[in-house]
Amino acid sequence: MNPALRAVVFGSGHSALTLATGLLADGWLVDVFTRHSTPEILGNGAGLTQLTLPSVHATELALGLGLWQHSAPPAHQVRMRMQPPEGEGLEFTAPLPGAAVAVDHRLKSAYWLQHVADRGGRVHERTCTAGDVAGFAATGLHDLIVVAPGVDSDLRHLFTPDPDRTGGATDRVVVQVHLTVPEDDLPDQAQVLTCPWGEVMVYPVLTVDALTPTQVRALSAADAPPVHVTPFAAVCVQVMARPGSPLDPTCAASPDMTKGQTGAGLPRRHGVHARTVWARVLERLHALDPVLAAWCSDHDVVAGSELVRDIHPQVRKAVTTVAGKPVVGIGDATMTVEHASGQGAGASTWAASTLRDQIRQQRQVNLPVDAEFLSGAWEAYWARHGQYTSAFGGFVTAYWSGFLPEHVLSAFAQTVATPEGAAAWAAGLDDPARMNHLLTL
């Protein structure tokens, strides 16, 4: 009997755990390295919430990762508003080809990590460096080495910048909160407001109260019971400001707001700093959409859901060589997707699932998972998904730039003005490959 193939995955985010789950289903032995334990993840500040569109949701369900399919509040349509500084804007509502859902990043990461462990994956709680990756590569014990850490991880520097590609993203200042809303008032749609200053997204989310430090310590003990929390439905509000625009809450901020860390050495993404930034956003949102701003002001913020994050896009080559072994990078480690396009979850899922499918086909004919193969597997993802996700992200960021041809803007407006055209746009939002013809008329 042939010995099982072994993989090591550095990271515990969306793409890392999607791939790890798929490899386990294919009979691989998988080691996953995570910086934080499950209790720590649930006790941390919120990450960036992502809307999981229907096709991506279906892929998650097929992998057994749809852990909240009966409890996550669905969005069945998208309401899009395009608001210029002067004159009339464009507004339409389009039905999605299925239900979209959003799950708090902490909840998803923590329980997907447990899901991997329950299916035989070995989870190691340890912060890894480039030296650790090199050490694992040098042993030659693993048939596949995957690096899929967060966007801020130093491990991203293992991969060289790729000047020949773009993820379609631009610099943004993102401010996020989850708002408590009575169940009867939960929206059944995702709302997107776009203007030259940036975008505002509002959609239902399954969220969770952060564990207290005491709870984290108790649940981290060796004899602690399995972690269990009770999620609940809320509304996610995300403001994605263009830096320097009137919607940017960090403009003219105090020195403490612009430093990378607080006086205690903590990141400025959470806590009182994020709450202060949210208050600034509400002031600016009143000028853009007073009704939405008033609605936000009328609802309480879920404690711990506040987040402020600077996004600086990066695109890196997905395959590198470390200690003579090929290493593949997926997720934010190698490409930033425009968050305002709503394609973040899709890019993570499709990159991971395409890589898994390519590996499975390669092993069925007993061919090696070498550098040439991994580069080809990434190209397969790019050809089927990545290039279209990038093009749609580029369209979103360029819509107000003045660089798009007038006939493209006019054709787009005419298309979405009809029910059939709006439905085609929503189908393209679900799968950007179906959007491409709408953006290149």
* H helix runs in 289-386, sequence order: 290-297, 344-364, 371-381
* DSSP letters spanning 133-182: HHHHHHHT--SEEEE---TT-GGGGGS-B-TT---S---EEEEEEEE---
Q: Which fold has domain 52-101+171-312?
A: D-Amino Acid Oxidase; Chain A, domain 2 (3.30.9)
DSSP-based three-state secondary structure for 235: strand
Per-residue burial over 68-82, b = 16 or more CB atoms within 10 Å of its CB, e = otherwise: beeebbbbebbbbbb
Mean pLDDT of the chain: 90
pLDDT band at 268 (very low <50, low <70, confident <90, very high): low
DSSP-based three-state secondary structure for 232: strand
Per residue in 199-251, pLDDT tens? 999 999 999 999 999 999 998 888 888 888 999 999 999 999 999 999 998 86
Mean pLDDT of 144-150: 92
Mean pLDDT of 158-168: 88
Nearest residue to 143 via CA among 279, 27, 316: 27
> What are the residue boundaries of the structural domains of the chain, listed by start?
1-35+126-167+314-403, 52-101+171-312, 406-441
DSSP code, position 123: E
Does the CA dihedral 82-84-85-87 come out positive or negative? negative
Entry pTM: 0.92
Per residue in 275-290, pLDDT tens? 899 999 999 999 899 9
Mean pLDDT of 191-205: 96
pLDDT at residue 85 in the model: 78
pLDDT band at 333 (very low <50, low <70, confident <90, very high): confident
Nearest residue to 440 via CA among 412, 401, 399, 420: 412
Question: What distances in angstroms separate CA 93 from CA 1, 79, 236, 331, one per listed residue?
Answer: 56, 4, 19, 30
pLDDT at residue 14 in the model: 94
Per residue in 410-422, pLDDT tens? 888 998 999 999 9
CA atoms within 13 A on the CB side of 134: 7
Amino acid identity, position 307:
L
Kindly indicate whether the domain formed by 1-35+126-167+314-403 is annotated with CATH number 3.50.50.60.
yes
Please state, as a whole number, how many other Cβ atoms lie within 10 Å of the Cβ of residue 166: 18
